[in-house]
Structure 1
Amino acid sequence: MARFDGPLLEKLSAVAGLEILEPVAFAQLTSLHVGGTPRGMVRATTSDALAHAVKLLDEASVPLLVVGGGSNLVVAEGDVDLVVVLAANDAVNVSEQGIVHAEAGAVWDSVVATTVEHGLSGIEALSGIPGSAGATPVQNVGAYGAEVGDVLTQVKLYNRETKETGWVKPEQLELAYRYSNLKFTNRAVVLEIEMELDPSGVSIPLRHLGGQQVPVAEARASVLELRGQKGMVINPEDHDTWSAGSFFTNPVVDKALADEIEAKVGEEGMPRFAQPDGREKLAAAWLIERAGFRRGYPAEDAPVRLSTKHTLAITNRGGATASDVAGLARTIRDGVEREFGVRLVPEPVWIGMDIDDIQK
């Protein structure tokens, strides 16, 4: 096992903008509030320090995980064999032309709020999404008809293979629905992002408002209200928000299977959205509910439950473990597959385990 002590700690301590911290459990670092304790922890307050920390740990063959808001992680319990690199570089700059530059550690919703204050349109529909700016291109964060990939102009990466830092264009990331070629690969670390927004002050067409365009401040308020009703805006006092957000991605299936599902359920208005390749995107929450899983499933006293506000969120009621989360996720996934022949795919990143509760 590679050592995280002595000479390595001296090298890390010598980096400007890097601080060695006493490690704390992932239960304190993630929005799901589960997970054990890493071997070590460092905090980077600049992009250069973030890249340097990753470089030094890689050269020492020490496993690491870059953590921003911790909103998309399910981490195994016990001792977790890696070092956490906290992304605390959080500067946000907005130009008169609508160019927005955000460092990886900036709180995403604060970035959105800043752009709305400047009357810029493009990411107002992404209000209230937890996590950091650096995570948004990794899974092409989106909601209510918008994706961060719609406005990205470039992303600054530290390439862990070449050990070089540089800006790349969005097309180099192969962005797709909740996907980029950064996801699950660990090949590079996002240091900063740049977006070009519309200075008109009028929102994009909002799906939840039937395609209406409204002033960006009004759009942000409506999105925050809607997300709040679903328990998707973090509130430490509300266990419905102790989650990893939407736990499953919306599945894309053949049109024939979508037809079968709609006929089997026998309801008008099944959510289904045509895709460029002829397939259709279905709503995971709709499938979960029609497979028999209701809000608050399985029971009021269960340590982990579906949110009482929204069936797409798996929530920690205060004392859940990562195994509890995996168990409920497995039950939901398998139940939907039995009922409809659709295998839901988890959206969070699993650390030290997977949905089948297999330790890694």
Structure 2
Amino acid sequence: MRKNLALATGAVLSATLVVSGCGSSDSTSSSSPSAQQSNSQGGSGGMGMQQVTAVNLNTDGASPGGANTAAVVTAVKAFLATLDDTERKKVEYDFSDNKSRQTWSNFPATTVPREGIEMSALTTAQQKAADAVLQVALSPSGAQEDADIRKADNELNRLGGQGADGFGSLKDYYFAVYGTPSTTQPFMVQFGGHHLARNLTYNGDKVSQTPQFVGSEPTSFKSDGTTVEPVKAESTAMFAMLAGLDAKQKKAAEITSGTFDDLVMGPGKDSGTFPASEGLLASQLTAAQKKLVTAAIKTYAGDLNDTAAAKLMAKYESELDKTRIGWSNNTGPTDENSYIRIDGPSVWIEFINTRSQSTPNIHYHSVYRDKTNDYGSSKPK
């Protein structure tokens, strides 16, 4: 297996990033904890710095289990069997290659190079074998969301301008495998590109699907005569959760530490340190309002295969009264910089409407992390 450059624990790698095709604040950090402070990488786009802190990851994450590991192992091995030796060298990594495992982003791959092999470099049969892995690992809705996000890049290519003509459903997406697929030893399947990151770590019957990034630019478009809205489930549920609050609750849910023009715990934020909890405790909600919070979480956790997702949702629901919901900037579904957060003992979800460079409208960025199970790890160290 290939070993990429390893960074010492705690070392920081900084890369200068040219933003193209995404929103004007398509960076991966948010404002500092001071009111009305804008992202230093935001503004009108252009240059920005994405810092990645390389950490050592252990494999004892707090997964409730239920993984369909054997089926995933079979699908991964079938994909690897389609590759020649040169291709396998591009796909296979040591499981201990933590730096490579952390290399995911919402930036296009031309800006943040991905590990693995580009889908466009594969034959049609190989592409189908790679897609089959995701279809086994994810729920039908999760696999469909991936396909729709990739279609959005075809639409960006059609629109052109602002660098968008370099996108595509195959050109900007990469597949990598870390470790030897096994029902007893840890391994990871990594797939992603622009506006998509799937980091699926298996360890026996345990599974982690976080960090997970989904986004869409544009948010809605036509493909073969059908309207496609890749992140509709998440956006609808998150804004419904806020809309279900009364005026007093909404005020209590406001995040007052600052305003945000992008995600706080996006790519490169792997120290295991999350912001201090803010917002309204779910214990202060009615039963109907709690159902809206649960429904919002499920649009993310439910991307995993059904059995594992059900066990995971049971865990999150058991922690619901200790979970907070919050918002900042705006709360309208089409307002720029509307920011929503779900912050529990384990679950962390952020959603934001950010400015698009390629369309006159907003587009979506969202990250889902599990504080106790990112990369299948109880906590990076």
TM-score (norm. length: structure 2): 0.25
Q: Which has the higher contact order (CA 8 A, sep 6+)?
A: 2
Look at both structures and tell me which one has the larger radius of gyration over its CA atoms. 1
TM-score (norm. length: structure 1): 0.26
